[in-house]
Amino acid sequence: MHRRPNAIGLPSFFVMLFLLLTAADGWAQPHDDDLEGPPPPVQEEPSRWPVVYDLTAPDPRTAQAPPLVPLDGPGSADLNGLAPDRITLGTWAPRSGPWAPHGALTRGLATYFKAINLQGGLGGRTIQLLSFDGRDDAEWTMEGIRVLADHYGVLAMVAGVGPVSNLAAFEPLARRGIPWIGPVGGLPQYAQPPRPLVFAITPPTTEEAAALVQYSIDYLNRNRVACLYSDDEYGRAGLEGVRFQAKRYQLELAGALALPPGSTDVKNQLIELMEAKPDAVALWVSPVQAAGLIKTLPRLTRLDSAEPLDTVFLAGQGLADAPLMDRLTGGAWTGVVFASTQEAPDDASPLMASYRNAFQRLAARGERWSPFFCSGFGVGEVTLEALRRAGPEPNRARLVRSLESLKTFKGILGRITFGPGQRQGSREMFLVQALEKGNVRPLTGWFTYSMN
- Measured in whole angstroms, the distance separating CA 410 from the mean position of its chain's CA atoms is 20
Residues 245-274: what's their mean pLDDT? 86
Q: Poorest-confidence range of 2-11, 201-210, 248-257, 435-444?
A: 2-11
Contact 333/313 with Cβ under 8 angstroms?
no
Q: Which CATH number fits domain 205-340+434-448: 3.40.50.2300, 2.40.10.10, 3.30.1330.90, 3.30.1330.40?
A: 3.40.50.2300
Instruction: Place domain 37-202+347-421 in its CATH homologous superfamily.
Output: Response regulator (3.40.50.2300)
Same fold, 37-202+347-421 and 205-340+434-448: yes
pLDDT at 31 > cutoff 70: no
Residues 110-131: what's their mean pLDDT? 96
Contact 255/227 with Cβ under 8 angstroms?
yes
SS3 of 349, please? coil
Contact 38/366 with Cβ under 8 angstroms?
yes
pTM (predicted TM-score): 0.87
pLDDT at 186 > cutoff 80: yes
Q: ω into residue 392 within 30 of 0, thus cis?
A: no
Nearest to 192 by CA among 160, 155, 233, 239: 233
Instruction: Give the Cβ contact number of residue 129 at 10 Å.
Output: 29
pLDDT at 352 > cutoff 90: yes
Write down the domain spans for the chain.
37-202+347-421, 205-340+434-448
pLDDT at 42 > cutoff 50: no
DSSP secondary structure string, 173-206? Answer: HHHHT--EE--TT--GGGTSS--TTEEB-SPPHH
